[in-house]
Structure 1
């Protein structure tokens, strides 16, 4: 056992990362399924108690009397029950936080801080795995974020939305995918960071941020949002979220294992994808509040068949794309 670890330290480290990631996600999923509703109920009760008691404080009463317009505006921003209230406030604050994280990451990359040292360390260790038997598996995984596959998924999703008569969902899908792709392209052109030296699948674009990591969040995250909104089961919603997170992490990890990107490239891509996914979800919730989207549609047999046809078609397309285009690049 010790000899195996000494001969393949990078492979063992990667395996440990995969095992710990899956175990952590399973634990979080288990806790959410078991205690999620109780926690949400507790948060709701605490929120109600705080609102009631804060409103009675002499300071708040005085502010309401002295600045009624400003107090009314702030009160509406934290009101529950409609999109322009607490929901929009949370989504806006989340976007600001994500932008701040992305700006901090950009500063670290540009100034060659410790993150760059970590990037080089991880890249050097991953280059040792180039002849490993795990490479084909990660080639298939990374194909999920390729342009032809993502375009196919968008097309099939558009057809599915037409079948269930919810065309406005496409607005959010296009905002998330096109917005994130454009932002990523402009960022690549602005920073012009070179890719790792020992790259396996030759790419002709710049490195920061990772387009595959971006689209994994923007596209598959939005598909997960759609599935969660269409589902009426809390347990199923938690499992969908867990599966989507795992898929996105695996796509991002594939870019590192194949030495297509540095670690910070993937982190930046995740942040960009999350930013545009949040914007798209905000648009979806606004359209839902205006009655443009009905998430409680009844799925006919034809709709279900179309869904499964789409899933099978995507898997076949990934297999064909990986074998015809990706694997020859390894040679």
Structure 2
């Protein structure tokens, strides 16, 4: 193994990158579990203190007196008691920020900025890994973002939501997955960016943004959101979030390793998926505030067995899809 790494600098760099990413995620997870709740409580406390002192400033009081309608509207946007207050404000700010990042990335790609040169640099190094022994494992990972596998996982998730008697969650799931898929498809058609020349698996669609990266954020991110909402234990919430991030990162990295996409394609996919994930979570939280979804759930043995069975089915399906769909492509490449 060490001899192989010495002979292949690209493989060594890839493994080092993966190890570094996993270590960073693990460190963040440990710190979040240990200090996360305390930090969040302090943030909320300092925000309330800042709000209290801000409202007592003479200039603010003067503006409130002169513009009561405007000040009332702004004050309502920061109320924590209802969805259309601070919750919606935070979602709008996050969505706007992600959309701005996506627009900036698109501008860089279209205008052939430095990121495009870096794309080709990374792609040239990844092409050396065509005969690497890790390719088969990478193909199994990339199958988690394949259309057939994600459709199966969406169906399994919908079944679980129906059995748990929380059917309105499916609305957010469909918004996240269908919306992100359509957005990715239209973006591909609009920008018509060609895929890397050293592509390892045959694909018929354009390159930007990566559909696999998009759906990984939209689907696995929303599933993680469901699991987090159904869990009251903060440590488990952090672990579930960390697991979802890890899956998405690995799927995106697999597209680069297989030379299916450039680095900026994957980044664009992550941003597009995040945008629709925010929209879907916003709608789900609105349905929750309207009383359509109740997250408190008493887990029965049947519920746990069903979730475990769905996870096993998804794992088997992604592995079979990799070996019976992607592997023949690899043999003919």
TM-score of Structure 1 vs Structure 2, range by shorter chain: over 0.9
CA distance in 2, matches of 1:123, 1:5: 19
CA distance in 1, matches of 2:227, 2:272: 22
CA distance in 1, matches of 2:149, 2:161: 18
CA distance in 2, matches of 1:323, 1:16: 26
CA distance in 2, matches of 1:78, 1:102: 27
Q: Kindly indicate whether residue 163 of structure 2 is the aligned counterpart of residue 160 of structure 1.
A: no
Deviation at 1:2, TM superposition (A): 9.6
Contact 2:169 2:284 in 1 (8 A): yes
Report matched runs for 1:164-313 at 5 Å: 164-313=164-313
Q: Which residue of 1 aligns with 2:62?
A: 62
- The C-alpha deviation readout for 1:123-178, integer Å capped at 9, x for no partner, is 00000000000000000000000001000001011111110110000010000000
CA distance in 2, matches of 1:5, 1:171: 47
Q: Secondary structure at the match of 2:232?
A: coil
Q: Secondary structure at the match of 1:194?
A: coil
- The C-alpha deviation readout for 1:294-315, integer Å capped at 9, x for no partner, is 1112122221111111111111
Deviation at 1:5, TM superposition (A): 5.5
Distance 1:299 1:2, change over 3 A: closer
Worse overlay, 87-96 or 251-260: 87-96
- The C-alpha deviation readout for 1:31-64, integer Å capped at 9, x for no partner, is 1011101101111110111111111111111111
Distance 1:102 1:308, change over 3 A: same
Deviation at 1:318, TM superposition (A): 1.2
CA distance in 2, matches of 1:80, 1:316: 43
Worse overlay, 317-326 or 239-248: 317-326
Q: Which residue of 2 aligns with 1:48?
A: 48
Q: Kindly indicate whether residue 117 of structure 2 is the aligned counterpart of residue 117 of structure 1.
A: yes
CA distance in 2, matches of 1:184, 1:5: 36
Q: Which residue of 1 aligns with 2:28?
A: 28
Distance 1:5 1:323, change over 3 A: closer
CA distance in 2, matches of 1:4, 1:279: 46
Q: Which residue of 1 aligns with 2:9?
A: 9
CA distance in 1, matches of 2:318, 2:247: 14
- Count of aligned positions: 331
TM-score (norm: length of structure 2) = 0.97
Q: Which residue of 2 aligns with 1:148?
A: 148
Q: Secondary structure at the match of 2:145?
A: coil
Q: Secondary structure at the match of 1:200?
A: coil
Contact 2:6 2:12 in 1 (8 A): no
Q: Which residues of structure 2 form unaligned runs of 5+?
A: none
CA distance in 1, matches of 2:252, 2:234: 27
Distance 1:313 1:4, change over 3 A: closer
Deviation at 1:81, TM superposition (A): 2.3
Q: Kindly indicate whether residue 135 of structure 2 is the aligned counterpart of residue 135 of structure 1.
A: yes
- The C-alpha deviation readout for 1:193-246, integer Å capped at 9, x for no partner, is 000111111000000000000000000000000000000100000000001001
TM-score (norm: length of structure 1) = 0.98
CA distance in 1, matches of 2:318, 2:70: 54
